[in-house]
Chain A
Amino acid sequence: MRRHKLRGWKSAAVLAVGVVAVAVWATSSLAASHAATVKIAIMTDCKGAFGFGYELDIGGAQAAFAQYAHGKPTNRAKPSAGMTNISVNGTSVQIVGYGCGNDTVPVAVTETKRLMEKLGADVMVGPLSGDEAVYVANYAKAHPTKTFIIGTAGSEDPTMQIHPANLFRYHGDGAQWNAGVGEIAYKKLGWRKAAIIIDDYSFGWTSGAGMILDFCAVGGNITKRVFPPLNTTDYAPFVRQLPPPGQVDGYFSAVGGTGTSAMLKAYEQAYGALEPSKWIGNLFFGFLGADKTVAPKLVGAYIGGTGTGPGLKTAQAKAYEAVIKKWYGPSKINPADLFVANYYNAGWALVQGLAKSGGQVGAALQAAMPQKLKEGYAVSNGGYATLDSRRQAIQDQYQLQLVKNPDGSVGPTTVAYVPGVDQSFGGLVKPTDPPYGRTVPTCKKVKTPWQGKIKIVKNGVITSAVYK
């Protein structure tokens, strides 16, 4: 029996060796400092509901580095394999790490600290999701020498209420993305009264706010707001809170992830078959896997956009899409996917900023970040998206419709062009206002800058006709 027992100092020696090994392993992983190199980190999600966005985000950002900063992809079929040789006007740029979030705040804390403090990144491109961006904005405020360019997060707070001077967002927030969809509901579908069902968190509130602001601005009325918690699996109690079809003209949905399909199924069980003319969803009706689960049930339904114009046939859009295909064609990432496009724009903005700052980071880079960016799907303002005073993009938006493609699949196509949408909706929303939530914004008939100017897009071409 004795031989099975741990033997005194031998065991202690084993423990000591283990401790030393761990210490060596840990300290050897601490990044060495490269003073002449700009260190950047790409923060995205590799787990959770948006884990599939990992390659899309990295691919988008790195395509910009490849196109404008001499970057060489290690594997064109797998962006996360890395990129070498990045330099801007002679300044070497190194990607020190990819963040692996899961769209929750605690993991965003760990990953942000790992990237910015352990790996010593000077600049973060990211994060991906709304709550992560709220955390990163607060973190940015506390770390003014670091620079943050939001990847593709759509919550309002980072640039409206928190707005640290070292944080930039070159795409719209979730409300901006939905600008125009309310007016289409009012004018095209004849809705006057509608109910809305919204995920009960930052991005859901922001996305729903865009629908509410736009629909109410043109004269519509939201008669009921329902807020299922995030990660709800049984939507029956929440769907039952919605008015039955006879009491409203339609429903807006800002329910995302796996919840979208479950929510609609609960609706079918409660009130019967889905009618595409009675439903408008945010991007979760047509993107991020919903094209296979949700869209086939709602062919013909309008959906909110993401700042990209799938199928748009402008020269600028074609040039952008060619860049993505050139560098990451084998990975089959979709250039019109919001993850790809937004990270690409963030990466490109960073290259321009570094070029202007002469490779300086910190305050010099922040001052040098471009105030306007020639984004792939931008049309107004000479084809540029511009930044407002809180470093938030004023960006053209595209509203979409679910259509059946020639191959039988169902997906979104661009049907409306909304020029120059700003985060404040033409001054309706102010930084001193409480952030979007269960009761904010209220329903008010007002004039938005784009009211009556939403142009019809047909076969990828922006026509001169407007929605009436």
Chain B
Amino acid sequence: MNPATWTHQQRVERTIAAIALVVLIIWPAAGWSPYWAHQILIETFLFGIAAASLIFLSAYGGMISLAQTALFGIAGVILGNLATSGGAGGTSKGLHLGWDPTLALVVAIVGTTAIGLIGGAVASRNTGIYFLMITLTYSVIATYTLGQVTKIGGFSGIGGINRYTPGWIGDLLKHPNRLYYIALGTAIVVYVLIRYVVRTPFGVSLQGVRDEPIRMSSLGYAVPLHRTLAFGFAAFLAALAGVLYVWWSGQIAPGNVDLPETISLLIMAVIGGLARIEGAWVGAFAFILMQNYISTSTHIPLVGFGGTLFGGSFNTVIGIIFLVVVIVSPDGLMGLWGRVFESKRETSGGG
């Protein structure tokens, strides 16, 4: 952490990160745009965590998982079923067992992590397209299970979950800034945790498994176990995002874990960049910003065609951006950012 040893890129990035962190910390207290604080930024923090779980598996384990959205939803569904109460004036869907919200929270996170470990164990002997297909299957299973097992919510999902938060957190509906700081804090912890984990012996051997699984196996490393544990860790991260999501939106439904939502998370990760963890939040921010403004903002020069951007079609715009990113910068916006410094180094070297 000696600044003297930092590269130019590291100095710039860490300066930007420090400024961004200060701005984000004072944002709600300063009263700047509550809509941005309580909608765009909270969504960015929590979807960034979910995307980070995907990028962690991809960048350090060589596993592209389509199951992260499903795991995100499973945590929300467990919490919704356990914490809510039914009857007149209560929630109308799910088991609404009325457990203590803290206990429900712990069970939701631990349960989702356990499901992730089981799913990871099943998929751990596969790589590439086969791993992708298995995790896609998890996503489909989750969608149909949540939709058709009506006792745990059904197609309509469970609503009003954010009225049942632990006492030590308090009423997030009356105090949305509290949720903002919880989401921001969790995002920071997740980022630091991933950075820590990838530097531990487990993280280093996981990267070995990513690059040379056969060699690692012949050296005596348990390749499937590494993948299983990584998948379980990513499930834990996705569970945190799922809990934050239901506290933010109040509901969880099969529509939150279906194929379009699964692809949306992948798009966030790809736009941000699959090679660096920071890309998760960059991609989530870009995606959510577009989602919130494309359908409504008008009079955009050149591309507005006299009305909303491409007729207000978010899917069209995000599809074009996705294509451009994949073609121009396969490592996403973070890759583009990195090339700025590579280019500078080359220019300096040649000069």
CA distance A106 to B261 in the complex (A): 9
Q: Please give me the residue from chain B that is nearest to A431 by CB atom.
A: B88
* Interface residues in A130-172 (C-beta closer than 8 Å to B): 130-131, 134-135, 137-139, 141-143, 155, 157, 160-163
State whether A30 and B35 are in contact (beta carbons under 8 Å apart), knowing that A11-B339, A105-B156, A134-B93 are contacts in the complex: yes
User: Taking each of B86, B93, B261, B312, which has the highest tally of chain A beta carbons within 10 Å of its own beta carbon?
Assistant: B93
**Which residues of chain A are within 8 angstroms of B297 by Cβ–Cβ distance?**
25, 29
Contact indicator B163/A142 (Cβ below 8 Å): yes
Contact indicator B253/A435 (Cβ below 8 Å): no
**Which residues of chain B are within 8 angstroms of A22 by Cβ–Cβ distance?**
289
State whether A432 and B87 are in contact (beta carbons under 8 Å apart), knowing that A134-B156, A138-B159, A200-B155 are contacts in the complex: yes
Q: How far is the CB of B79 from chain A (nearest CB, A)?
A: 15
**Which residues of chain B are within 8 angstroms of A105 by Cβ–Cβ distance?**
156-157, 159, 251, 253, 255-256
Contact indicator A118/B35 (Cβ below 8 Å): yes
Contact partner of B251 (CB less than 8 A), chosen from A109, A117, A430, is: A109
Contact partner of A139 (CB less than 8 A), chosen from B89, B148, B250, B343, is: B250
Q: Is A8 interfacial (CB-CB < 8 Å)?
A: yes
* Interface residues in B225-256 (C-beta closer than 8 Å to A): 249-251, 253, 255-256
Query: Looking at chain B, what size class is its interface with the partner chain?
Result: 35 or more
State whether A200 and B292 are in contact (beta carbons under 8 Å apart), knowing that A138-B251, A161-B92 are contacts in the complex: no
Q: Is A35 interfacial (CB-CB < 8 Å)?
A: no
* Interface residues in A391-438 (C-beta closer than 8 Å to B): 430-432, 434-435, 437-438
Contact partner of A434 (CB less than 8 A), chosen from B86, B251, B346, is: B86
Q: Please give me the residue from chain B that is nearest to A5 by CB atom.
A: B343
State whether A104 and B255 are in contact (beta carbons under 8 Å apart), knowing that A8-B340, A141-B160 are contacts in the complex: yes
Q: Is A12 interfacial (CB-CB < 8 Å)?
A: yes
Contact partner of B93 (CB less than 8 A), chosen from A5, A25, A118, A435, is: A435
State whether A29 and B296 are in contact (beta carbons under 8 Å apart), knowing that A118-B35, A138-B91, A200-B148 are contacts in the complex: yes
State whether A200 and B154 are in contact (beta carbons under 8 Å apart), knowing that A30-B33, A161-B88, A435-B92 are contacts in the complex: yes
Q: Is A229 interfacial (CB-CB < 8 Å)?
A: yes
State whether A5 and B346 are in contact (beta carbons under 8 Å apart), knowing that A15-B336, A106-B255 are contacts in the complex: yes
* Interface residues in A21-74 (C-beta closer than 8 Å to B): 22, 25-27, 29-30
Contact partner of A202 (CB less than 8 A), chosen from B156, B296, B341, is: B156
State whether A161 and B89 are in contact (beta carbons under 8 Å apart), knowing that A8-B347, A29-B297, A97-B296 are contacts in the complex: yes
Q: How far is the CB of A146 from chain B (nearest CB, A)?
A: 12
Contact indicator B289/A135 (Cβ below 8 Å): no
**Which residues of chain A are within 8 angstroms of B154 by Cβ–Cβ distance?**
200-201, 437
Q: How far is the CB of B171 from chain A (nearest CB, A)?
A: 9
Q: How far is the CB of A202 from chain B (nearest CB, A)?
A: 4
**Which residues of chain B are within 8 angstroms of A356 by Cβ–Cβ distance?**
none
**Which residues of chain A are within 8 angstroms of B336 by Cβ–Cβ distance?**
6, 11, 15
Contact indicator A142/B38 (Cβ below 8 Å): no
Q: Is A262 interfacial (CB-CB < 8 Å)?
A: no
Contact indicator A161/B90 (Cβ below 8 Å): yes
CA distance A179 to B133 in the complex (A): 48
Contact indicator B295/A100 (Cβ below 8 Å): yes
| 7 CB < 8 A contacts A-B | A11-B340, A26-B292, A29-B293, A138-B159, A161-B87, A163-B88, A202-B156
Supply 5 further A-B pairs (C-beta < 8 A) apart from A106-B255, A131-B156, A200-B147. A11-B336, A161-B89, A229-B144, A431-B89, A434-B86
